[in-house]
């Protein structure tokens, strides 16, 4: 990881230049809400195992995926995130027994609803990664980054300051 992270906001093209910039030049910024017990530890393992994945992610550690209120996702999009990922323990493995099952219902509803208002489905994604799945985490990050790159910089719901 490293040097590009701080630059992401400034590398965003302005709206008129969109088509002239090759997909490779633009780096999306992605906010990832990871649960403390599984996915965050999975990200940690990916790091200590020196697995490579795109440097576009800002990780926010939360106690449980159920802590993620869909408003967090909306706020991230409004503040300019190109993509949002929420990841918790696999169903059945939650540190709080069934936090992720409660979360799964909320996420299922908000994901469909955001698609209905016109937010591309690649922008907001949910996944399960356990503490031992460093390689799954790296693969997940790459797949999310690819997905967000495919739909390009976020313009919808972004608050212009």
Partner 1 sequence: MEDRVEQTSQAIRNEARRLFEADEIDVFIGFESGSLPLSSRPAFLTAEEIAQDPSKIDTLVWDSFCTSNLATYLLRYYANEPNRRKKREKPYPRVGIAVKGCDCRSVYTLAKERQVQRDSLRLVGVPCAGMVDVRKIQEQCADEIVACEEVDDSISITLRNGESTKIDREKALRRSCLECRFPKPENTDSIIDTPARKPGDGGRATLEAFEQKSSDEKWQYFSDELTKCIRCNACRQACPTCWCKECFAEHTDLKWIGVGSDLTDAMVFQITRIYHQAGRCVECDACYSACPMGVDLRTYTNRIAQDVHELFDYLPDFNPETSPPLATFSEADSNDFITDPEQAHE
List interacting residues with partner 1 (CB under 8 A).
70-71, 74-75, 78, 85, 91-92, 98, 101-102, 104-120, 125-128, 136, 139-140, 142-144, 147, 156-159
CB nearer to partner 1: pick between 56 and 127: 127
DSSP E strand boundaries for the chain = 30-35, 57-62, 83-88, 124-128
d(C-alpha 104, C-alpha 7), whole Å: 33
d(C-alpha 38, C-alpha 58), whole Å: 17
Question: Is-contact 82 29, C-beta < 8 A?
Answer: yes
Pairing of β 83-88 and β 30-35: parallel
CB nearer to partner 1: pick between 21 and 104: 104
Least spacing, CB of residue 3 vs partner 1, in Å: 25
CB nearer to partner 1: pick between 11 and 142: 142
Question: Is-contact 133 139, C-beta < 8 A?
Answer: no
CB nearer to partner 1: pick between 7 and 99: 99
């Amino acid at each position: 990881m490293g040097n590009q992270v701080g630059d992401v906001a400034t590398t965003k093209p302005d709206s008129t230049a969109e088509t002239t910039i090759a997909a490779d030049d633009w780096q999306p910024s992605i906010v990832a809400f990871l649960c403390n017990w599984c996915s965050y530890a999975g990200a940690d393992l990916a790091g200590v195992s020196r697995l490579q994945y795109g440097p576009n992610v800002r990780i926010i550690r939360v106690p449980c995926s159920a802590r993620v209120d869909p408003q967090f996702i909306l706020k991230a999009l409004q503040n300019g995130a190109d993509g949002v990922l929420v990841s918790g323990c696999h169903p059945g493995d939650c540190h709080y027994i069934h936090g992720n099952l409660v979360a799964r219902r909320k996420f299922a509803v908000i994901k469909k609803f955001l698609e209905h208002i016109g937010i591309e489905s690649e922008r907001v994604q949910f996944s399960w990664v356990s503490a031992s799945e460093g390689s799954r985490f790296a693969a997940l990050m790459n797949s999310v980054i690819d997905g967000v790159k495919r739909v390009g910089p976020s313009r919808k719901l972004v608050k212009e300051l």
